[in-house]
Amino acid sequence: MVLVINGAYDDSGHADPGHPERPDRVTAAMAGVADLHLGSDLIAVAPYAATRPELARVHDDGYLDELGAFCHEGGGAIDQDTYATSESWAIARHAAGGGLAVIEELQRRDDGVGFIAARPPGHHALADRAMGFCLLNNIAIATAALLSQGERVLIVDWDVHHGNGTQAIFWNQPDVLYVSTHQWPLFPGSGSASEIGGRRAIGGTVNIPLPAGATGDVVRRALDEIAAPIIDEFSPTWVLVSAGFDAHRADPMADLQLTGGDYAAMSQAVSEYAPRPGRLAMFLEGGYDLAALRSSVSAALSSALGLSATIEGTSSGGPGTDNVERVKHERASALETARSIHGEGSTR
C-alpha cells in the first residue's frame, strides 16, 4: 500500500494571529501521517502552483483577478471569517496544485491513496467568492480536472460544516455526485436534505444534516442506508474526500461527537466506493484541535491503507438516529417534486 502526499510547501505566510486556520494544522496532519511509519510506502509529491486555466475551470476570472490583486496589495480581512496575506495567493495556488499533482501521481502509479495536507482549505469557496476560511476550492479544482478527462467523480464531504462551495459549483454537473455529512444548523446554513441538485443533475447532491451531539453510529448508518445505494448506482471512477476533522468531539468549532475510530470507519466506507487502487484522494479541510487532527488523520489514512493501527474506539449513543429516517423522507419528497417539474429524464 502506498500513501501519496503532496510534498512540503511553506504555508507559514498564510497566517493571522489568533486565527484557528493556521499553519500548525498542516504540521499536525503531517505528524499524523508520520505516526503510520510508512517508510518507503510514503511517496511525497511536490506541489506546484495551479495554473490559471486549471483554476478557471472552477473560479470566475474576475474573482481570481481580485484575489490575486488583493494579496499583492498586502491582503487583509475578506469577510468576518476569512483572511488573506501577501503570500496567500501563492500558497492557495499551491494547495490547489497539490491536489492536482497527487492525482497525476495516482494515475501514473495506478495504486495507492492520496492525501493532500494543504491549506487554506477549500470547500466553502464559491466560484466567485471566498468564505469560511477558504480562498480556492481545492477539491473542486481537482474534480474539474478529472471531469475534463471524462471521469465520474464522487465527492464525500465529512467536514462538520456543509461544503456549500463544492455543492454550488457542481449543482448542475451530472458527472459529479456530492455527498455531505455535517452538523446542522451550523455555518454556512446550507445543506438541508431537500437540496438535491440542479435541473441537469437532480439527485446528484446528497445532504445528510446531523444534530449537535450526534455520534459516529448515526453517521455510519446514514452513509450505509442513504448514501451507499446512490453511490452504487452512480458508479464513480474516482472518489475524492473533503476530509475535515472538525466533527471530532474535541474540536472547538462544532458539537458533533466523533472519534478517531469513527474517522477510520468512514474512511473504510469511502475506500470501498473507489473502483480500484489509485482512485481515492483525501483533501484536508477543517480540523482545529491539533491533537484530534493528528490522531484522526492517522486513523483515517490507516484505515484507507488497510493497516492495523491503535486508534480510539468508535462512538455511539448520541442523538440523531431518527434523523436518518427524516433525511430519507425529505430527500424523497424533494426528488418527487423535482421529477414532477422537470420529468424523469433529468433524474439520475
Partner 1 sequence: MTSVTTIAVGFDGSEDSEIALHWAMRLAGDTGAEVVVVHATGMLERLDTPFAPGEMPPVLATIAQEHGIDSARLHWIVDNGDACSVLLRAVEPPINADLLVVGSRGHGKRAGLLLGSTSLELTQHATRPVVVVPSNVSRH
Active site residues: 124
Q: How far is CA 109 from CA 1, 103, 141, in A?
A: 11, 10, 21
Candidate residues 35, 41, 60, 66; the one interacting with partner 1 per rule CB under 8 A = 66
52 vs 78: CA distance, rounded Å: 21
Which is nearer to partner 1, 145 or 258 (by Cβ)? Answer: 258
The rounded distance, in Å, linking the Cα atoms of 71 and 311 is 41
Q: Given the rule CB under 8 A, which of 174-182, 185-193, 265-273, 290-298 is the region that contacts partner 1?
A: 185-193
15 binds partner 1 (CB under 8 A): no
Helical segments of 170-259, H only = 216-222, 228-234
70 binds partner 1 (CB under 8 A): yes
Say whether residue 111 binds partner 1 (CB under 8 A).
Answer: no
Four-residue CA torsion sign, 150, 151, 156, 157: negative
Let me know: does 279 contact 237? Beta carbons within 8 Å: yes
The single residue among 50, 130, 141, 266 that binds partner 1, judged by CB under 8 A, is 130
Which of residues 1, 7, 10, 19 is near partner 1 by CB under 8 A? Answer: 19
State which of residues 78, 300, 311, 324 lies at the interface with partner 1 (CB under 8 A): 78
The answer to whether 67 contacts partner 1 (rule: CB under 8 A) is yes
238-243 and 83-85 strand pairing? unpaired
Least gap, CB of 140 to partner 1 (angstroms): 18
Query: Site for partner 1 (CB under 8 A): which residue of 7, 185, 306, 313?
Result: 185
Q: Strand, helix or coil at 188?
A: coil
* 61 lies in the site for partner 1, by CB under 8 A: no
The CB-of-131 to partner 1 minimum distance in angstroms stands at 5
In this chain, which stretch among 24-32, 40-48, 65-73, 196-204 interacts with partner 1, using CB under 8 A? Answer: 65-73
Among 89, 115, 133, 170, binds partner 1 (CB under 8 A): 133
Residue 189 grid coordinates: 446554513
Given a contact cutoff of 8 angstroms between Cβ atoms, the answer to whether 330 and 194 are in contact is yes
Which of these segments, 129-137, 261-269, 296-304, 325-333, binds partner 1 (CB under 8 A)?
A: 129-137
Of residues 131, 213, 200, the one with CA closest to residue 170: 200
- Min dist. Cβ of residue 75 to partner 1 (A): 10
Instruction: Give the residues across from 283 on adjacent strands.
Output: 116, 242
- Find the shortest distance in angstroms from Cβ 65 to partner 1: 10
- Residue numbers 218-257 binding partner 1 by CB under 8 A: 252-254
Q: Is 188 in the site for partner 1 (CB under 8 A)?
A: yes
Question: 3-state class of 242 per DSSP?
Answer: strand
CA–CA dist 114, 101 (Å, integer): 10
Interface segment toward partner 1; rule CB under 8 A; list 6-14, 61-69, 143-151, 208-216? 61-69
Q: How far is the CB of 22 from partner 1 (least distance, A)?
A: 13
CA atoms within 13 A on the CB side of 80: 2
90 CB contacts (<8 Å, ≥6 apart)? 13, 49, 71
Binding mask 163-182 for partner 1 (x = CB under 8 A): -x------------------
Say if CB 268 and CB 303 are below 8 A apart: yes
Instruction: Work out whether 72 is an interface residue with partner 1 (CB under 8 A).
Output: no
Question: Which of 337, 63, 26, 72 shows the shortest CA–CA distance to 194?
Answer: 337
Q: Does 80 bind partner 1 (CB under 8 A)?
A: yes
What b/e readout covers 100-120, taking b as 16+ CB neighbours within 10 angstroms?
A: bbbbebbeeeeebbbbbbbbb
Does 77 bind partner 1 (CB under 8 A)? Our answer is yes
Q: Which residues bind partner 1 (CB under 8 A)?
A: 19-20, 63, 66-67, 70, 76-82, 129-133, 161, 164, 185-190, 252-254
